[in-house]
Structure 1
C-alpha cells in the first residue's frame, strides 16, 4: 500500500489476516443487486492495484517495500489469527497514508481477492464486511517452510547483539479499585481531572517553578488525524488516550512505545466526534463511541469485553465521556432534538443497563411543571456534554446539565405556570447503582443567553463560617462560581470573576440569580448587549482546584455579544442571533487566567493575553499551572503570582486538558492537540490574526526535565 515504509509490514499482515479469516467463514447470501463472487474478486483486484500493489507487488507475491500476501509463509503467520482482530487491523491501518479511508465494501473485496489468491475454495456467497466479526481463521495444514518474498525477514547467519530490556507494563497488573479512583497514587492520573473529585491537581512536585523552564519533549506520538479534545489517563506506567475515529491507544508512558490499539468500526455515515475522557475500572478501559455505544476493553490487551448501545433515540451524541463509580459506568448524552439530554448507567462488569435519567423533566415527573406549560414532547435542551465526578464521602455521582436553545416558549412567564425549566443549568447528584436522584441545584433558571452550567463539578473542602465544609464547586459561562453543600446541595456562596454584566442580584440564601430586565433578549427588544458571549466566558476548559490553598484556577474569554433580532427563528428561538463584540473599554487582550480564593471569594491575581485560552488547567504541588492557547502555545505559570514561566509551540490547537504523572520516579507532563471543541471556532472574528491550522492533525506530546 502507498504510504510510510515503516508501516508496510503491518499493512501486509492486516490484509493477510482478512484473507485467512475468510477462508473458513460461512458467508452471507448475496443480496439482490450485489455483485457475485467473481465480480467481487475483480473489484478487489482493481482496488488492490490502486492501493496495495506498489508495496506488496502486482501479483501479491511481495514487493520492494512489503512482503507477500499469499503463499505458505503468509498463511503460516496468520492461520490462527481471530478474524475480528484481523479485519479491524486491516481496516485501521490500510492504506498507511489513508488508514481506514476506504469504503468497507472495498476492504471486503480486497479480502476476497487475497482469499482467492491463496487457493481457498471459492465461496458460494459474497463476503460482506459487517459479517466478519465472530469468525475464526482455520489453522494452516502445516507450517510453512518458505519465507515471504520481497524485502524483510531476519538473517540467522549472525547473532543479534543484546538490546535494552523492554519493561512489561502489564506484568504486575491489578484491578483498578474504587479507593484508587477516589485517592489516586501520586504517580497516576486515573480519571478525568485525575481523581473522582475532579480537582485537576497533582501532588507531584519534581517539576516546579524553579525548573519548569527546562522542560523538553520526552516523546511524542501522532494520533489519528482529526478533532481531539481527550484528556489521557495513566495507570502504573501505561498511558491510555482516545483517538479520532473512535480508537483507543495504549502507550508505555515513559517511552511512547505502542502497547496496543483498538479501532471501532462505526456504521458508515456516522458523524465522528472526539470524547473528553475515557474511564478505568477493574481490569477494563471504557470508551463511548460516536454511534452512542459504550465499549469495555481489556486494559492489558485492548480487546473488547462487551459492547452495548446506550440509547435508540435519534440525534443523540456524546462529546463527554464515561464516569466509573460503585461498579457502574455512567454516560451523559447531548441533543438539540425534542426530548432533551440523557444520563445512562450500565453495569461495569456486564454492560447491563441499570437506569436512564431524562434531564428535561416531563409532565408528571419531578420538575415536570417548570416548563411554562410546554407539552412534554416539545421540550428541548438539557444536554450533558461533560463527564461527571464522584464524591466518595457521600457516595454521590455529580453531573452538570446544559441550557436550552428553545428559549422562546420559556421567556415570558404564563399565569399560573413556572418557567424555571428543570433540569437545565443544574447539578444533579445520583446514587450510581440505583439512579436515585438524591438532590439537585439549579444554578441559573430559565437561561435566555446560552450561558450554560454543564461544566466540571469539583469536590473539595473549604472553610465556611470558620468551619471546614465539603462542597461542590462549579461555574457557568457567566464566570460565576457556585459552592453548594456536597451532601445536601444547599447553596453556600457565589464568586464572580468580574466578566459578566447582566446579573444584578444573587439571593444570599437560595442562590437565585436575577438578570437585568433590560438585558433579556428577544426579537421584540432590538439589539441587546451582554457580557460575556454565549461561547464563554468560562467554557469547555476545566478548572483546577488546589486542595491545600483552596484556590480555584480558571481561564476564560473576555468577549461580549450583541444579541440581535433574527430574520428567521434565530439561534435562540426568542428570535435572536449572537454576534461577537469586544468588551467596553477593552484592551484587546481577550484571554483571561485567574486565581480565586474560594474561601474569601477574592480574585487573587489575573493575567491577560491577546490570544484566548483553549485548554483546561493543571496545577501541581510544584507550584506550577499548565494550560494552552488558541495560538498553539503550551504554557506554564506560577500558581502564586500568575507569572508566565515557560512556553512551547505545538502543531495543533490544544483543546484537551494537560495531565501529569510519573514513571520510575520521573515526572512527565502530557497533552493532546487537535482542535475539536467550540472554543476553536468563532474567535478569529474578534482576533483576525488567529488562524486554525490548515490540517487538523492530532498529536500526543509528553514533556519532562532533562536527565
Structure 2
C-alpha cells in the first residue's frame, strides 16, 4: 500500500445506526480538507467532481497516456464492488479512490487497489459521490442525504430529505456548491400533494438551506401550463442526474425530466407542463429560479432532457450545452437562458425545430393516441441517455455515446389503480433497429460545438454503455455492452486500443495520477437494464454476461517494466 495515503493497518468494526456499519482496515493519513477553491480548480491528478470539474466537461488535462502510447495500456489492479446495479463514478482525491455502490461506500488505495475502509448502508445512490471538507457525501434510495468521514468511513450525519413512502428517492449523488450539498430528487412519478425538487443542505450538519420545486403548482407562475390538473396529478420533472455550477454567475444549472405519465393523452392535458424537460438556472445562495428554458413542451414519448449540463466559454460567449434522448445538442446563453443553437444528430423523426427561436413542434403523425399503434425514432432509452458526453477544449468538440433505435408503441388509458397511484402509464413499447443503421446499434460521435458538424462517427454492433472520457493526450475512451473498452483518437476517430472486460463497462470512466503515474479506471457491472431490454427486442440471440460490479484500473508499464 502507498504510505502517502494510509496509516498503519488496524481493524475496526463499529455498528452505527440500524443496518449501517463501518469496517476499517486502515485509515487515510495526512488527509487535507477539500476547500471550495479545490473543487473549482482541482489538481490534474484528482477526479473530485462527478465529471472532474464543476462545469461538467468529463475531460482530464493529464497527458502521460497519449494517442501514441495508449496501445501499451495494461491492467494494474481491479476491485470487486458490492452486488447490485451500479453505473458508478469513482472519485479520487490525493491517492485515494472512493466508490459508491448500492450497498455502501468503499475507499481503496488508488495506486494499488488495497482496501482502506467500507461504510455499509443499503440503498446508497449509485452514480456518484461528492467530497468537501473532511466528508464524503451521498444520496440514498430512501431519500436521505448522508455524510461520511473521508478518513475513517464513519457516519457523520444522516438527513431525511423526503418521504420514501411517497416514492421519493435519490439515484445519483449530490454536487457541492459554496459549502452546500445540492441534490436533485427523483421518484416523482407517483401522484401526491407534493412535487419534485432540488434542495441544498449545510455540508456540516445536513440542515436544509433551500428547496426549489421543479413543477409549477396551481396558482403559481407557469401553473396554468398543466391545464386544469390538480396538484395531485402533476407528476414528473425528476432531477436524477447531477447538475453543474458556474461560480462567475453564481448559477447552478440542472436538467429536469419529462412529465408523468409519459404520454400527454394519458396525463389528461397537452399543456407544456412546466418545468418538465427544461434547463433550470438557480441562484446558488437562495435556490431562486433565475431563468428556465423548456426544450420539449408537452413531451409525449418519454424523451426527457434531464442529462448533464456542460458549461463552455468561447470568447465572450458563455454557454450551457445539453443533449437529451432526442439527440439534439442544445446551446443556451448561461446568463439569460437565451436560445443560441440546436444541432440535431439527424436520427429523430418526432420534432421540427425552429432554428431561430429553438421552439419545437411535434409532427402530428407521431403524437400518441390511446390504444393506437405509433412508430417513431428514437426508441426506449433514446439516442442519448445517462451516459454523459465529454467536451474537449482543444478540438472544441463533444464526444457523444449514441444508441441507435426506433420504437413501435401503444399507450393505453390509465386504469383506476393507476389514477390512484400514478406512474409512467401503461404502454407496450418494442424497440426496432434504426433504418439509418439496421446492423449497428451504437455510435460514438464527435460533434463540433460551434457548428454542429459531425467531425467523425464510429458505428458499433452493440450500444455503448459508459460515459465518454477525453484527455489532453488526444484520446477519447468509451465502453460498450459487448464488454469492449476502447480508446479513439480525438482528432480522427481512429481506434487506437481495445480491451475486453469480464462484464460490460458500465458507468463513468475516469483518469487520475498518483506519484506521477497516470491511471485509467473503468467501472464494470450488470449493465443498463433499458439497454438490455432494447437488445432483447432487436438481438434476441444476444447472451447477457452475468456478474457483479467491479472497477478495473489500467496504466502504462513503468520504465522497470513492472505493472
1:632 equivalenced with 2:483 (yes/no): yes
- For the 8 Å contact 1:523–1:574, the answer to whether it is kept is no
> What SS does the corresponding residue of 2:467 show, helix, strand or coil?
coil
1:337 equivalenced with 2:190 (yes/no): yes
Residue 248 of structure 1 corresponds to 105
Matches within 5 A, 1:459-470: 459-462=311-314, 467-470=315-318
1:389 equivalenced with 2:389 (yes/no): no
1:182 deviates by 1.8
Matches within 5 A, 1:539-688: 539-566=385-412, 576-584=427-435, 586-675=437-526, 677-684=528-535, 685-688=537-540
Residue 384 of structure 2 corresponds to 538
Residue 259 of structure 1 corresponds to 116
Residues 553/230 of structure 1: CA separation in 2 closer, same or farther (3 Å cut): same
Q: Distance in 1 between matches of 2:224 and 2:175?
A: 30
| Residue of 339, 361, 367 corresponding to 1:520 | 367
Residue 374 of structure 1 corresponds to 229
- For the 8 Å contact 2:28–2:116, the answer to whether it is kept is no
Q: Distance in 2 between matches of 1:311 and 1:574?
A: 23
| Residue of 176, 179, 188 corresponding to 2:46 | 188
1:392 deviates by 1.5
> What SS does the corresponding residue of 1:682 show, helix, strand or coil?
helix
Report Cα offsets for 1:54-87 as digits up to 9, x if no partner.
Answer: xxxxxxxxxxxxxxxxxxxxxxxxxxxx653999
Residues 281/564 of structure 1: CA separation in 2 closer, same or farther (3 Å cut): same
Q: Distance in 1 between matches of 2:527 and 2:227?
A: 35
Matches within 5 A, 1:268-307: 272=123, 274-307=125-158
Q: Distance in 2 between matches of 1:419 and 1:88?
A: 45
Matches within 5 A, 1:65-84: 84=16
1:406 equivalenced with 2:261 (yes/no): yes
- For the 8 Å contact 1:614–1:679, the answer to whether it is kept is no
1:552 deviates by 0.6
Residues 490/86 of structure 1: CA separation in 2 closer, same or farther (3 Å cut): closer
Matches within 5 A, 1:485-496: 485-496=333-344
Matches within 5 A, 1:19-58: none
Q: Distance in 2 between matches of 1:639 and 1:407?
A: 37
1:206 equivalenced with 2:64 (yes/no): yes
1:681 deviates by 2.6
Residues 170/585 of structure 1: CA separation in 2 closer, same or farther (3 Å cut): closer
> What SS does the corresponding residue of 2:158 show, helix, strand or coil?
strand
Q: Distance in 2 between matches of 1:543 and 1:394?
A: 23
**Stretches of structure 1 lacking an aligned partner (at least 5 in a row):** 1-8, 18-81, 94-167, 267-271
**Stretches of structure 2 lacking an aligned partner (at least 5 in a row):** 1-8, 559-563
Report Cα offsets for 1:287-322 as digits up to 9, x if no partner.
Answer: 112222111111111111111111125211211110
Residues 408/225 of structure 1: CA separation in 2 closer, same or farther (3 Å cut): closer
More helix by share: 1
> What SS does the corresponding residue of 2:235 show, helix, strand or coil?
coil
- For the 8 Å contact 1:296–1:307, the answer to whether it is kept is yes
1:248 deviates by 0.8
More strand by share: 2
- For the 8 Å contact 2:125–2:138, the answer to whether it is kept is no
1:423 equivalenced with 2:280 (yes/no): no
1:506 deviates by 2.1
| Residue of 484, 488, 496 corresponding to 2:332 | 484
Q: Distance in 2 between matches of 1:561 and 1:340?
A: 30
> What SS does the corresponding residue of 1:683 show, helix, strand or coil?
helix
Q: Distance in 2 between matches of 1:675 and 1:382?
A: 27
Residues 575/662 of structure 1: CA separation in 2 closer, same or farther (3 Å cut): closer
Rg larger for: 1
1:365 deviates by 2.2
- For the 8 Å contact 2:470–2:476, the answer to whether it is kept is yes
Q: Distance in 2 between matches of 1:306 and 1:85?
A: 11
> What SS does the corresponding residue of 1:384 show, helix, strand or coil?
coil
1:220 deviates by 0.8
- For the 8 Å contact 1:194–1:201, the answer to whether it is kept is yes
- For the 8 Å contact 1:340–1:383, the answer to whether it is kept is no
Matches within 5 A, 1:154-169: none
Report Cα offsets for 1:85-137 as digits up to 9, x if no partner.
Answer: 999559x79xxxxxxxxxxxxxxxxxxxxxxxxxxxxxxxxxxxxxxxxxxxx
Residues 545/351 of structure 1: CA separation in 2 closer, same or farther (3 Å cut): same
1:391 deviates by 1.0
1:175 deviates by 1.8
- For the 8 Å contact 1:460–1:470, the answer to whether it is kept is yes
Tell which deviates more after alignment, 671-680 or 605-614. 671-680
Q: Distance in 1 between matches of 2:423 and 2:171?
A: 21
Residue 235 of structure 1 corresponds to 93
Residues 412/227 of structure 1: CA separation in 2 closer, same or farther (3 Å cut): closer
Report Cα offsets for 1:227-250 as digits up to 9, x if no partner.
Answer: 1111011111111111231x1111
- For the 8 Å contact 2:263–2:299, the answer to whether it is kept is no
Matches within 5 A, 1:110-129: none
Residues 395/677 of structure 1: CA separation in 2 closer, same or farther (3 Å cut): farther
1:213 deviates by 1.0
Residue 362 of structure 1 corresponds to 217
Residues 548/588 of structure 1: CA separation in 2 closer, same or farther (3 Å cut): same
- Give the TM-score of the pair, scaled to structure 2: 0.90
The CA RMSD measured in Å over matched residues stands at 2.7
Residue 474 of structure 1 corresponds to 322
Q: Distance in 2 between matches of 1:517 and 1:205?
A: 50
Q: Distance in 1 between matches of 2:389 and 2:19?
A: 41
Q: Distance in 1 between matches of 2:423 and 2:16?
A: 46
> What SS does the corresponding residue of 2:459 show, helix, strand or coil?
strand
Q: Distance in 1 between matches of 2:21 and 2:353?
A: 58
Tell which deviates more after alignment, 681-690 or 378-387. 681-690
